[in-house]
Structure 1
Amino acid sequence: MDSLNYELIKPDKCLADFVESYWQLHNKADDNKEITLLPDGKIDMIFTKSSAEEFQIILLGLTTLPDKVVLPANTMMFAISFKLLATEYILQTPVAGLLDNAKILPAGFWGFHPDDLSDFNEFCHKAYQIISSLLPAGGADTRKLELFNLLYGSEGAVTVNELSEKVFWSARQMNRYFNQEYGISLKTYCNILRFRASFRHIKDGKLYPQQNFSDQSHFIKEVKKLSGALPKQLKQNKDGRFIQFSTLGRS
């Protein structure tokens, strides 16, 4: 990771229901870096440029599979990681069609340009101003807010039936909402959040269930399905290819 510079900033409290974080990743090396991105339950808007590629703004939908990508030499990447409610209230578009996929946004989207990648703090301030201006005047649906607070608070270690009882929303209706808006079922999203929560345990060498998995074999099966690797392989993180493990706890 010596050639990669990583920084993460949490959003202002007023954006906490919609923005998970801002982050920047800079490949300072003159060589390409192969990395693997793991499903983490976020929607990412990535602003990137390199010596070989022009400035682009890319919107990534939810992922359910590990994604092997090449980070070009001398790449600068700034990003906004959105929570799911942002698609409805900030981006104002479903991302079901972007499941395990991405799209390039128009040049000048939200008024961002290549020069905005010269200062990460200024980038975050500009993003804050834009997103703040897009906040819904009447606030988000309180039932959806409660649903997502329970999901994030439990880190996915909750059943669909438990959620249904607590937010007074039928499992069928919640699943329809998730499939239409995000392209996956609510249970699948819970599994992704639970998998993401296991990152810190695996990195600490706890290669056994921590997040309400039924048993060891279930834990290993879920980790391998979502990462393509066994827990011990994630822990080893050969060549730092699992980027979320390499940057875990760094800011």
Structure 2
Amino acid sequence: MKLKSIQPVKGLADFVESFWMIRNDSAESKEIIVLPDGRFDIIFSATANEPFHATLRGLDTHPHQGVVPGQVTMFAVSFKLLAIEYLLDIKMAAVLNEGQRLPDGFWNMGPHDLEDFEGFCEKISATMLDRIESDIDNRKKELFDLIYASNGTLTVHELSDRVAWSRRQINRYFNEQFGLSLKAYCNIFRFKASLQQIKAGRLFPELNFADQTHFIKEIKKFSGVVPKELAKNQNGRFILLSDAL
């Protein structure tokens, strides 16, 4: 199974986390566990038995089991949350932990676009650059910049103070748009950031967890296993869609 990712051009950096592809040329499917990564995805795919289609995948708040079918090609965009309002103009709360089939011809993408990953990235980047709204709320941009820069370790109170936006208003925005609270989202993002240290064998808290017990509890909550087992990643079964563990 081949995995590859490409970073977005500068003009999309506030909205797109990465482009990624999975290609399984084998006839055999592969079972995986998809871990929460604080992003949402639009996935374009086709298999030997299923025609080309596009799927919107919402935020995940817990690990879920999945299957990469045999003879499948998937090209996708992993989005940052700011894209929901200023690029797609949708609310993700309805698809929390769910997927939704998108209309045929979405963004003028078709089966031939799965033949060249770099070409796919260029084409869909041009489409998105034409769609970005210009009147972005600076409080929201600053809020997400702080969450990402701090790897989700800042408290809701600290984030609220820094962007001069009340905690009540922020949480209303998060719940209406994304279907979860700001704190819940920060915990997911902190988990994602912890994966690199776990992969390196550092099985202790580094990102503002209260203690070792809290660290283990949070890792198990979002992966289903304790840090030691996650670090082993036997058979490569744990995967972040936007960044393979």
Pairing 1:101-250 to 2, within 5 Å after superposition: 101-138=98-135, 140-244=136-240, 248=244
Residues 34 and 69 of structure 1 are in contact (CA less than 8 Å); yes or no, is this contact kept in structure 2? yes
Instruction: Give CA-to-partner distance per residue, 1:119-152, whole Å, 9 cap, x none.
Output: 00110001111000001133x1111010000000
Distance 2:192 2:40 in 1: 14
Distance 1:134 1:244 in 2: 27
Which segment is superposed worse, 187-196 or 129-138? 129-138
Pairing 1:40-119 to 2, within 5 Å after superposition: 40-119=37-116
In the TM superposition, residue 248 of structure 1 has moved relative to its aligned partner by 4.1
Which segment is superposed worse, 83-92 or 48-57? 48-57
Instruction: Give CA-to-partner distance per residue, 1:133-176, whole Å, 9 cap, x none.
Output: 001133x1111010000000001011000001000001110000
Residues 37 and 240 of structure 2 are in contact (CA less than 8 Å); yes or no, is this contact kept in structure 1? no
Distance 2:66 2:53 in 1: 16
Cα RMSD, aligned residues only? 1.4
Residues 200 and 248 of structure 1 are in contact (CA less than 8 Å); yes or no, is this contact kept in structure 2? no
Q: Secondary structure at the match of 1:93?
A: coil
In the TM superposition, residue 30 of structure 1 has moved relative to its aligned partner by 1.4
Q: Which runs of 4+ in 1 moved over 4 A?
A: none
In the TM superposition, residue 29 of structure 1 has moved relative to its aligned partner by 1.4
Distance 1:12 1:82 in 2: 13
Give the equivalent residue in structure 2 for 1:32.
29
Structure 2 alignment gaps of length 5 or more: none
Using structure 2 for the length normalisation, give the TM-score.
Answer: 0.97
Structure 1 alignment gaps of length 5 or more: none
Number of positions where the alignment pairs a residue of Structure 1 with one of Structure 2: 245
Using structure 1 for the length normalisation, give the TM-score.
Answer: 0.95
Distance 2:101 2:240 in 1: 23
